[in-house]
């Protein structure tokens, strides 16, 4: 699936709005989006025509690999993410193949990254909503959070903050995930996978 080199990208950090959710495992997509915004020297503002916050800017070195991007944090709660993302895709005229969802992933060890195009939602409500709204053919940057310990329910686990032990390395893993997003946008999926899929 090829798209024009000059087509913009929509990079979506998935999470829940509000300070009560900010440090949850489920909000790692917001954490990565915040770091990318910092790198772009941008500030999230209310999005046009969508329940979301957005930063417009560019990623990549000067020259042909430089890409126009919109960083997005849906403000609709996780299970309704598809509506704001689709509205912004249409507003900015972004091909679906140029959309990247950054999200927590239960089936990968904490801090491990996997990049891919398309696929299922694996029970993730943010992906489920996006796929229902526009089909599955968008990129994913999957940030491993591991499985809940013992008999803890998945919903309780993802809506808890990272543990003190996990927080020691969290900044490093968020930084690496932001690097992976930049590589995906500027170098393409295969090169980014070879560098960051661990």
Active site residue ranges: 26
| CB atoms closer than 10 angstroms to residue 68 | 17
Q: Where are the alpha helices (DSSP H) in 40-159?
A: 82-92, 125-134, 154-158
* Percentage helix, strand, coil for the chain under 3-state DSSP, each rounded to 5: 40, 20, 40
Q: How far apart (Å, rounded) are the C-alpha atoms in residues 102 and 178? A: 9
Q: How far apart (Å, rounded) are the C-alpha atoms in residues 74 and 100? A: 13
């Amino acid at each position: 699936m090829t798209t024009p080199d000059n087509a913009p990208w929509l990079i979506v950090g998935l999470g829940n709005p509000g300070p009560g959710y900010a440090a949850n495992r489920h909000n790692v997509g917001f954490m990565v989006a915040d770091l990318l915004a910092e790198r772009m020297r941008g500030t999230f503002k209310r999005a046009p025509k969508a329940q979301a916050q957005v930063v417009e800017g560019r990623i990549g070195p000067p020259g042909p690999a430089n890409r126009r991007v919109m960083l997005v944090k849906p403000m609709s709660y996780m299970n309704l993410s598809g509506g704001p993302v689709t509205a912004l895709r249409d507003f900015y005229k972004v091909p679906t193949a140029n959309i990247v969802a950054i999200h927590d992933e239960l089936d990968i060890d904490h801090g491990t990254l996997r990049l891919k195009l398309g696929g299922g939602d694996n029970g993730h409500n943010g992906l489920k909503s996006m796929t229902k709204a526009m089909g599955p053919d968008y990129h994913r940057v999957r940030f491993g959070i591991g499985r809940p310990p013992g008999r803890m329910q998945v919903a309780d686990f993802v809506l808890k903050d990272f543990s003190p032990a996990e927080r020691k390395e969290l900044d490093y893993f968020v930084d690496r995930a932001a690097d992976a997003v930049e590589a995906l946008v500027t170098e393409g999926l295969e090169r980014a996978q070879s560098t960051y899929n661990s």
